[in-house]
Amino acid sequence: GAVVSQHPSRVICKSGTSVKIECRSLDFQATTMFWYRQFPKKSLMLMATSNEGSKATYEQGVEKDKFLINHASLTLSTLTVTSAHPEDSSFYICSAYPGQRETQYFGPGTRLLVL
């Protein structure tokens, strides 16, 4: 089956620093990648949709200057949390959509802890 990887799986950083999370589709090309966020015991929530070579579309309430998304190729999207604060601590999950009405394939997630 299709595989999506995320790196790192876990990161701890100091408040004020920036953290980059990578999402890669390993054996298929993804026309679209999605970034989701999950707080403890809460639903996953869509943060943004990114298409290769174009600007990401952010959901209402998600700060685009804080959560920078770059979709450099059909197999790689990155999410950078800039000037991280403790309230950014969360579980970030990406998914990749190969097109042709297939399902989305999810990455294993990245757990971010901001001290």
Which residues here bind another protein, judged by CB under 8 A?
A: 31-32, 34, 36, 38, 42-46, 49, 59, 91, 93, 97, 99, 101-109, 111
Phi first, then psi, for residue 88 (nearest 5°) are -85, -10
CB of 16 or CB of 27, closer to another protein: 27
The Cα 47–Cα 92 span in angstroms is 9
Least separation in angstroms between residue 76's CB and another protein is: 18
Least separation in angstroms between residue 61's CB and another protein is: 12
Q: With contact defined as beta carbons under 8 Å apart, do 82 and 18 qualify?
A: yes
What is the number of residues in the chain? 115
Least separation in angstroms between residue 111's CB and another protein is: 7
CB of 43 or CB of 54, closer to another protein: 43
CB of 81 or CB of 94, closer to another protein: 94
CB of 34 or CB of 67, closer to another protein: 34
The Cα 6–Cα 105 span in angstroms is 12
